[in-house]
Amino acid sequence: MAIISFDLMTALPEIVLACLAMALLMLGVFRGDGSAPAILGLSVASLVIVFFMISLGGRATADAFGGMFVLDRYGDFMKSLVLLGAIVTLIMSRRYCEDEQMQRFEYPVLALFATLGMLMMVSANDLISLYVGLELQSLSLYVIAAIRRDNLRSTEAGLKYFVLGALSSGMLLYGSSMIYGFAGTTSFPALAGVFTSAPHGEAPPFGLIVGLVFLIAGLAFKISAVPFHMWTPDVYEGAPTPVTAFFATAPKVAAMALLVRVMMGPFGDLVAQWQQIVVFVSIASMLVGAFAAIAQTNIKRLMAYSSIGHIGYALIGLAAGTEEGVRGVIVYMTIYIVMNLGTFGCILCMRRTGVMVESLEDLKGLSKTNPMMALPLLIFMFSMAGIPPLAGFLAKFYVFMAAIDAGLYTLAVIGVLTSVVGAFYYLRIVKFMYFDEGGEPFDGPIGRDMALVLVGTSAVILLLFAVPGPILDGAAAAAASLLAG
C-alpha cells in the first residue's frame, strides 16, 4: 500500500491532469457545445494548476510503477515547457474559436489529453511507457488536426497526419521489438546496463542497431526531422491556426525531450553508433528548413519549414552526445517554444474584414498599419535568424558550443552557413512588413489576452541576453540530472 501511494504521489501532476481532463470531458458531454468557452477556460486553469505542481514542486528524483515512470529535474523542466506551450496556445485560441465557429468542447479536452500524453512521454523510462505516452499524444493530435471536420483542408491535414503518424508508430514499435529481442529488456536502466556490462570494444548485436535505427526513425517523425518531415508543411497549413501553434510547440518539445532521454539514457554508450545518424538528420533538416522555406508564400507553411530547420539546430546539441549538448538542446527548445508562441500569436492576429489571412503578401505595410504587431514579429524574425542580442542567438550559441566542444566542426560549419540562408526568408517577412508599402490594416483590437502574449514573449526574446542566468542554470541542472540517472 505504501508503495502504491508513493507511486501515485510521484505521478501526481499527471494523475491530476488525467482526472481533470476526464471531468471536463464529462462536463462537455452533458452540457453540449454551449459550454465550450467555459471548458476552454477551465482547461487552461487545469494546465496552470499542473504547471505549478511541476515547476514549484522541487521534488526529488524517483522511479515509480516498477521503473516505468521516472521523475527528475530534466523531466520537470521539459514538462514545464510543454505545459507552457499548451497553456499559451489554448489562451491564444479563444478568439479564433469564437470567430471561426470552432466552439467545440472536444478541442480543449483533446488538447489536455495530448498534453497528458506528452507528460508521460517526457517521464517514460521504459519502451512500453514510451509507446503508450506517445500514442496518447498522437491519437489526440490526429483528431485535433481534423477538428474542423466540415473543412476540407483540416480533414485532409488530419488524415495525412494520421496515416503517416501510424506508419511511424509502426516503425517505432518494430524497432522496440527488435531491441527487446536482442537486449531482453524494455526498461531504460536495464538497457543501459546491458551496454555498460558488454565487453569493451565489442560491437553491439547488429539487430539491436537495426532496432535503434527504427526507433530513431519513429521519433524523428514526431519531431519532423528530415527525411521524416513530409507531413509537416501540409499539416501546419491545413490545421486550424491555433492547432498549428499547438503542434509547433508542445509536441515538438515533448518528442525532443523523449528523443534526448532515449539516446542519452539507455543508448548513451552507443554514441558512436547513433551519432552519425543524428548528424545526418540534423544536417538534412537544416538544409531543407533553409532552402525549402525560401519559395513559400504561406506563412504557416513557412513556419513549418522554419520549425524543421530549428529541429535541425537543436539536434546539433544531441549529436554532440555530451552533457553540454543536452543543455544546448534544452536551452534551444526553451527559446524555440517562446519564439514560436509569439510568432503564432502574430499569425493569429492576421485577420482582415473578419477572415483569417495567411499569405506573406498580407503582411505588406504592417509596420504602418499595425506597428505594435509588426514590432514583435520583427523581433521574433531576427531572433529566429539567430542575430544577437536576441534570444535566438543564445539558443544557437549553446548548441554550437557543444558541437565545437565535441569536435563536430563540419556539422558546425554547415549549421552556421545554413543559418545565413535561413536568415534570408526571415528577413523577407521583415521586408514585407517594413520595406513594402500598401496593404490594408488588420482587424483590431487584438484583445487583451493576445496583447499580453505578444508583449510577454517578445520581452523575453528581447531581454533574455541581459539575464541569461536562470534559464542556463535550470537547463544545466536538468541536463545533469538526466545524465546522472
**466's grid cell:** 541581459
- Does 455 engage in binding with another protein (CB under 8 A)? no
195 vs 191: CA distance, rounded Å: 7
| Residue 381: CB minimum distance to another protein, A | 10
Q: What is the per-residue DSSP string for 143-170? A: HHHT--TT-HHHHHHHHHHHHHHHHHHH
Cα dihedral 448→451→453→457 (10° resolution): -160
- Does 445 engage in binding with another protein (CB under 8 A)? no
Q: Which is nearer to another protein, 27 or 416 (CB)?
A: 416
| Residue 312: CB minimum distance to another protein, A | 15
Q: Which of 58, 199, 438, 469 binds another protein (CB under 8 A)?
A: 469
| Residue 380: CB minimum distance to another protein, A | 13
- Does 413 engage in binding with another protein (CB under 8 A)? yes
Q: Which of 417, 452, 463, 484 binds another protein (CB under 8 A)?
A: 417
Burial (Cβ within 10 Å: 0-12, 13-18, ≥19) of residue 149 = exposed
**Can you count the helices (H) and strands (E) in the chain?**
20, 4
Given the rule CB under 8 A, which of 282-290, 298-306, 382-390, 449-457 is the region that contacts another protein? Answer: 382-390
| Residue 274: CB minimum distance to another protein, A | 24
- Does 69 engage in binding with another protein (CB under 8 A)? no
CA angle 119-20-36, nearest 5°? Answer: 110
395 vs 472: CA distance, rounded Å: 10
**307's grid cell:** 520549425
Q: Which is nearer to another protein, 186 or 419 (CB)?
A: 419
**Phi and psi dihedrals of 193, rounded to 5?**
-60, -40
Q: Which of 177, 431, 447, 481 binds another protein (CB under 8 A)?
A: 431
Q: Quick one: the chain helix, strand, coil %, rounded to 5? A: 80, 5, 20
Q: Which of 400, 450, 454, 462 binds another protein (CB under 8 A)?
A: 400
Q: Compute how many residues bind another protein; rule: CB under 8 A.
A: 31
Q: Which is nearer to another protein, 38 or 416 (CB)?
A: 416
Q: Which is nearer to another protein, 162 or 400 (CB)?
A: 400
Give which of 299, 290, 331 is closest to 314, Cα–Cα: 331
- The separation between the first and the last C-alpha atoms of the chain, rounded to the nearest angstrom, is 26
| Residue 384: CB minimum distance to another protein, A | 13
Q: Which is nearer to another protein, 118 or 286 (CB)?
A: 286
| Residue 428: CB minimum distance to another protein, A | 8
Q: What b/e readout covers 286-308, taking b as 16+ CB neighbours within 10 angstroms? A: bbbbbbbbeebebbbbbbbbbbb
Residues making contact with another protein (CB under 8 A)? 367, 382, 387-389, 393, 397, 400-401, 404-405, 409, 412-413, 416-417, 419-420, 423-424, 427, 430-431, 434-435, 465, 468-469, 472-473, 476
